[in-house]
Every structure is written in C-alpha cells, then in structure tokens.
Amino acid sequence: MARSDIIHEFNGNLSGGNYAGPWIDTAEVNAVIVSWTDFGGLGNTGEIQHSVDGSTAMRTVTVGVGQEVVLPARFFRFRLSTGGSGESPLQLSIRRVR
C-alpha cells in the first residue's frame, strides 16, 4: 500500500469507547477500505456515514474490518462504538481503493 493511499489515520485511546472521525471530502475517491485493530473489545463492525454537505449524515452503512465501501456521496466519516465506558486503544486507517 502506497503512503499516498491513506486518507485518514487514528492511533490513540478512545475515551468512552466511541470514535467519530472527521468528515472527509471524497473528491477523486470512489471507494475506501477501513481497517482497525481491536485491542479493547471494539468488535469487527463500524459505520460509514455518508453526507452531501459534510455536516449531516444522510445514510449509514455498516462496515467490517478490511471491507471495501463504495462512496455514493461527497463526504463521509467513520464511526465506531464499543458500547463501553472505559478507554479502548484504537489503530485505524482509511485508504482509497485504486
């Protein structure tokens, strides 16, 4: 994987067990693969939220680790929830599909 293929990364602790990434403009990106490492019981499914304006989620799609997701809207963000209240370590990367 080329370094330029990575469009978002996170490496840290989730306080409260939830992660909501930033809205990302999908200009010239048709599909992404989201991968994360489960250190603290995060599970293997998350959500890709799609938005036409980068502020309001219009559609949410469940995604598994390493699953390719086609992006139908201009903006998207990734959300992950453990359902817990403690801290969970997370390593996350979102990369474009070529």
Regarding the domain delimited by 3-96, which CATH topology (the fold level of the hierarchy) does it fall under? Jelly Rolls (2.60.120)
Interior/surface letters 55-79, b for 16+ CB within 10 angstroms, e for the rest: eebeeeeebeeebebebebebbbbe
% of the chain exceeding 90 in pLDDT: 0
Integer Cα distance of 34 and 36 in angstroms: 7
Q: What is the pLDDT of residue 1?
A: 46
pLDDT band of 44, cuts 50, 70, 90 = low
**Taken in order 86, 40, 58, 32, is the CA torsion positive or negative?**
positive
Which 8-state DSSP code applies to residue 28? Answer: T
Rounded to an integer, the average pLDDT of 15-25 is 80
Q: What is the domain partition of the chain in residue ranges? A: 3-96
Q: What is the pLDDT of residue 31?
A: 85
Question: pTM here?
Answer: 0.72
Per-residue pLDDT of 65-83, as tens digits, reads 888 888 877 888 888 876 5
Integer Cα distance of 40 and 49 in angstroms: 23
Residue 3 pLDDT exceeds 70: no
Whether the CB-CB separation of 88 and 11 falls below 8 Å is answered with no
